[in-house]
Amino acid sequence: MKILIVGSGGREHAIAMSVAKSSRADKIYCAPGNAGIGQIAECVPIGAMEFEKLAAFAKEKFIDMTIIGMDDPLVGGVVDVFEAEGLRVFGPNKAAAILEGSKAFSKDLMKKYHIPTAAYENFDDPEKALAYLETAKMPIVLKADGLALGKGVLICQTLEEAKAGVREIMLDKKFGSAGNQMVIEEFMTGREVSVLSYVDGKTIRIMSSAQDHKRAKDGDRGLNTGGMGTFSPSPFYTKEVDDFCQKYIFQATVDAMAAEGRTFKGIIFFGLMLTEDGPKVLEYNARFGDPEAQVVLPRMKNDILDVMDACIDGTLDQIDLQFEDNAAVCVVLASDGYPVSYQKGYEIRGLEKFDGQDGYYCFHAGSKLNEEGQFVTNGGRVLGVTAKGADLKEARANAYKATEWVEFENKYMRHDIGRAIDDV
Ligand code: AMP
Ligand code: GLY
């Protein structure tokens, strides 16, 4: 099979690595990809939002399956463009990707189908939002409706902060048109868990759980980032939690989307909060998490192309999804200063130390080859160093050992990825 992967981050590198393991994969392309992905796939200089060019490329190269890694093209309707051309593509169409693309939509869906989530109100009028805040309980959570690079959520401690937040989102348009509508919702407390799943429109298969560390600094301090590291499985995702989610959240979401005429095929990522009143949905994403994919995919036993084929064909009920009985930890090596401002273009040394090391992976997020053919840093998040171990403790020790194999100027990482597990 010839495969095209769309995206350019660590998640797409992890997807490419999984595809490369399949005996069915003959040739892998990635658009636009990055230097690390370029070691296992041919990178094609087409942007993820250039739908017509991507489809033309897929036709020209007789691509058997295109896998969309990123949220923007999914929400923008890339799958519809491919399907209209008769091309085989993995991911939800535009009507279904709204599950991630509009928080107001997803909240209304959960309310209508009794899927547990925080209490909320939607607003498209800033005056009404400001008036609502006067009687609301603090802290409170403000969410821009649309995609905002994971930054459109504000947790406000006081009424003044919340009012300023509404103005930023709806009047100053800090997150652009994502702020034309907004959700104001109840603040919840508890452990967060990410559960990724494959969906074929009617059947859902849950992957092993994971947890992200979103803040830039140790101890969950500092600014929100795209994710500074992950671990899988989450020890907080117990049998009891799983039973609850199977009963009230997972299948209910797939059925709700089908009932709305928005049949969902692809990945649903459930962002859950384990509250005192039971698990509740924080958010849905319509794609693999980044860097959740970097700890979940290396542990998956199935051939990823078999599973994705089954999602497209509606035969996921015939797949027995299996994960290794171990753990994985991913530590992101970032450029110091991320997520605000940072330097790029520094040489990355030591990548070859990963060669032949079973259970160790170095996924590239922001790297490129310079004119001399050397790997250099090219982003805020540069590499995702992942290691497996018999349990989380061992995986964490292995991952931190491997972070020492690579060096670049300005290398920055958190030192407590997976630490949550110490208090179990
Ligand atoms: P989201 O993009 O919706 O996942 O929100 C980003 C982060 O904001 C989540 O991972 C949570 O840490 C936090 N968050 C979102 N909604 C709530 C809520 N209702 N209560 C408390 N924290 C929240
Ligand atoms: N790591 C969180 C996300 O991919 O949205």
- With DSSP H G I counted as helix, E B as strand and the rest as coil, what are the percentages for the chain, rounded to 5? 35, 30, 35
| Residue bearing the CA closest to ligand 1, atom 16 | 282
220 lines ligand 1 (CB under 6 A): no
Predicted confidence at residue 422, as pLDDT, reads: 58
3-class SS of residue 201: coil
Let me know the angle formed at the C-alpha of 419 by 418 and 423, rounded to the nearest 5 degrees.
125
Cβ neighbours of 125 (radius 10 Å) = 10
At residue 240, what is the residue type? E
- 8 A C-beta contact, residue 285 and residue 264: no
153 lines ligand 1 (CB under 6 A): yes
In the predicted model, what is the mean pLDDT of the chain? 96
Burial 274-298 (b: 16+ CB within 10 A, else e): beeeebbbbbbbbbbbbbbbbbbbb
At residue 418, what is the residue type? G
| Residue bearing the CA closest to ligand 1, atom 7 | 153
Predicted confidence at residue 151, as pLDDT, reads: 78
- 8 A C-beta contact, residue 96 and residue 257: yes
Confidence of residue 30 (pLDDT cuts 50, 70, 90): very high
Pairing assessment for the beta strands 27-32 and 42-43 based on DSSP bridges: parallel
141 lines ligand 1 (CB under 6 A): yes
Confidence of residue 194 (pLDDT cuts 50, 70, 90): very high
Among 11, 106, 194, 270, which residue has the most ligand 2 atoms within 8 Å of its CB, making it the best to mutate?
A: 194
Comparing 77-81, 93-97, 173-177, 268-272, the range with the smallest average pLDDT is: 173-177
For residue 227, the CA-to-ligand 2 centroid distance in Å is 7
290 lines ligand 2 (CB under 6 A): yes
Among 153, 193, 212, which residue has the most ligand 1 atoms within 8 Å of its CB, making it the best to mutate?
A: 153
- The 10s digit of each residue's pLDDT in 80-96 is 999 999 999 999 999 99
- The 10s digit of each residue's pLDDT in 339-360 is 999 999 999 999 999 999 999 9
**CA pair distance 343, 336, nearest whole angstrom:** 8
Predicted confidence at residue 249, as pLDDT, reads: 98
71 lines ligand 2 (CB under 6 A): no
What are the residues whose beta carbons fall under 8 Å from the beta carbon of 97, sequence distance 6 or more?
A: 71, 74, 75, 77, 79, 91, 286
| Residue bearing the CA closest to ligand 2, atom 2 | 289
User: Among residues of the chain, what percentage have pLDDT more than 90?
Assistant: 95
Mean pLDDT over 237-260 rounds to 98
**CA pair distance 202, 277, nearest whole angstrom:** 28
271 lines ligand 1 (CB under 6 A): yes
Atom of ligand 1 nearest to the CA of 103: 3
| Helical spans, DSSP H, in 204-270 | 239-245, 251-259
Residues linked to residue 292 through DSSP beta bridges, in sequence order: none
Cβ neighbours of 313 (radius 10 Å) = 13
Confidence of residue 152 (pLDDT cuts 50, 70, 90): confident
Pick the closest to residue 409 from 346, 352, 362, 350 (CA basis). 346
Q: Read off the tokens for 358.
A: 């079973």
Predicted confidence at residue 421, as pLDDT, reads: 58
**CA pair distance 71, 160, nearest whole angstrom:** 33
Confidence of residue 423 (pLDDT cuts 50, 70, 90): low
Among 151, 292, 296, 297, which residue has the most ligand 2 atoms within 8 Å of its CB, making it the best to mutate?
A: 292
Tell whether the model's pLDDT for residue 327 goes beyond 60.
yes
Quick one: CA dihedral 225, 10, 241, 239, positive or negative? negative
Mean pLDDT over 403-415 rounds to 98
Atom of ligand 2 nearest to the CA of 287: 4
**CA pair distance 64, 126, nearest whole angstrom:** 47
Cβ neighbours of 168 (radius 10 Å) = 16
Q: Read off the tokens for 224.
A: 């929100």
pTM, 2 dp: 0.96
User: Among residues of the chain, what percentage have pLDDT more than 70?
Assistant: 99
**CA pair distance 257, 202, nearest whole angstrom:** 9
32 lines ligand 2 (CB under 6 A): no
For residue 127, the CA-to-ligand 2 centroid distance in Å is 32
Tell whether the model's pLDDT for residue 361 goes beyond 70.
yes
